[in-house]
Amino acid sequence: MQTVNIKSVSDIRKNAKQIFDTVKAKDEVVVVTRNSDQLSVIVSPGYFQSMIDENESLWEELEMSRSKKATKSEKVYSLDDVKSGKV
């Protein structure tokens, strides 16, 4: 789990370099706010890539599950039957 910090837009303006350096070095997550409203999230490139990879992996698993479910009732033939022309 990443460390989550909350920073205002004013904090970002004043200390942008330090905040971005810390996010990258410590793999932190910063939620940017204005008047207590969440505006954006700053994450390190490594953490962002890990989120993308995890998302892709989950989508692949979902598609495999859907494919298995869709083809569950289809007839299965052995390779030997296909090679010999029985099918």
Percent of the chain with pLDDT over 70: 99
Q: What is the mean pLDDT of the chain?
A: 92
Gap between the Cα atoms of 80 and 87, Å rounded: 10
pLDDT value of residue 75: 84
| pTM attached to this predicted model | 0.66
| Residues shown for the chain | 87
| pLDDT higher than threshold 90 for residue 58 | yes
| pLDDT higher than threshold 90 for residue 72 | no
In CATH, the architecture of 4-71 is: 3-Layer(aba) Sandwich (3.40)
DSSP SS3 for 80 = helix
